Amino acid sequence: MSQNEKKSLVLVVDDNPANIQVVGENLRKQNVEISIATNSAKSLKIAKTAKPDLIILDVMMPDMDGYEVCEKLKEDPDTKDIPVIFVTAKVNHSDIIRGFELGAVDYVLKPFNAIELQARVNTHLRIQKYLKQIKEQNDELINLNNEKNEFLGIAAHDLKNPIYNISLIAKMIRDDENISKDDLKEFSTDLVITSNIMLDLINNLLDINKIEQGKVKINIEETDLFSILVKIINNFQDRAAVKKVELLFETENEVFVTKTDKNALLQILDNLISNAIKFSELSSNCKIKLIGGNPCKVEIIDQGPGFTEDDMKKIYGKFARLSAQPVGNEQSTGLGLSIVKKYIDLIDAKISLESKVGSGSKFTIVFPKI
Ligand X SMILES: Nc1ncnc2c1ncn2[C@@H]1O[C@H](COP(=O)(O)OP(=O)(O)OP(=O)(O)O)[C@@H](O)[C@H]1O
User: Contact between 66 and ligand X (CB under 6 A)?
Assistant: no
User: Contact between 327 and ligand X (CB under 6 A)?
Assistant: no
DSSP for 289-324?
EEE-SSS-EEEEEE-S----HHHHHHTTSTT---S-
The distance of closest approach from Cβ of residue 319 to Mg ion in the complex, given in angstroms and rounded to an integer, is 12
Backbone φ, ψ for residue 126 (5° rounding): -65, -45
Residue closer to ligand X (CB basis): 233 or 320:
320
331 binds, among ligand X, Mg ion, none (CB under 5 to 8 A by kind): ligand X
The distance of closest approach from Cβ of residue 363 to Mg ion in the complex, given in angstroms and rounded to an integer, is 11
Quote the Cα angle for 227-230-236, to 5°. 145
User: Contact between 269 and ligand X (CB under 6 A)?
Assistant: no
Give which of 241, 228, 358, 238 is closest to 298, Cα–Cα.
228
User: Contact between 88 and ligand X (CB under 6 A)?
Assistant: no
User: Could you say which of 302, 346, 349, 351 contacts ligand X (CB under 6 A)?
Assistant: 302
Residue closer to ligand X (CB basis): 146 or 196:
196
Q: At residue 243, what is the residue type?
A: K
The distance of closest approach from Cβ of residue 336 to Mg ion in the complex, given in angstroms and rounded to an integer, is 3
Give which of 306, 311, 309, 244 is closest to 279, Cα–Cα.
306
Residue closer to ligand X (CB basis): 272 or 296:
272
User: Could you say which of 305, 344, 351, 365 contacts ligand X (CB under 6 A)?
Assistant: 305
The distance of closest approach from Cβ of residue 333 to Mg ion in the complex, given in angstroms and rounded to an integer, is 8
Give which of 62, 50, 63, 64 is closest to 10, Cα–Cα.
50
- CB crowding 17-31: b at 16 or more within 10 Å, else e: eebbebbbebbeebe
| Termini Cα distance of the chain | 40
Write the Ramachandran bin of 40: left for phi over 0, alpha for psi from -120 to 50, otherwise beta: alpha
User: Contact between 324 and ligand X (CB under 6 A)?
Assistant: yes
273 binds, among ligand X, Mg ion, none (CB under 5 to 8 A by kind): none
The distance of closest approach from Cβ of residue 315 to ligand X in the complex, given in angstroms and rounded to an integer, is 6
Which residues contact ligand X by CB under 6 A? 204, 271, 275-276, 278-279, 302, 304-307, 315, 320-324, 331-338, 361
